[in-house]
């Protein structure tokens, strides 16, 4: 199963943003 790499990149960016807010 392969999903768009862009989706994974967006998820990683969202996680980094959440960590930055904490």
Q: Is the pLDDT of residue 1 over 60?
A: no
Task: Output Rg (C-alpha) for the chain, integer angstroms.
Answer: 10
**In whole angstroms, what is the distance from residue 4 CA to residue 2 CA?**
7
8-state DSSP, 22: -
Structure pTM?
Answer: 0.41
Higher pLDDT, 22 or 11: 11
The CA-based angle 22-14-20, given to 5 degrees, is 25
The pLDDT score that the predictor gives to residue 13 is 92
């Amino acid at each position: 199963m392969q999903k768009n790499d862009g989706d994974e990149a967006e998820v990683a960016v969202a996680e980094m943003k959440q960590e930055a807010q904490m």
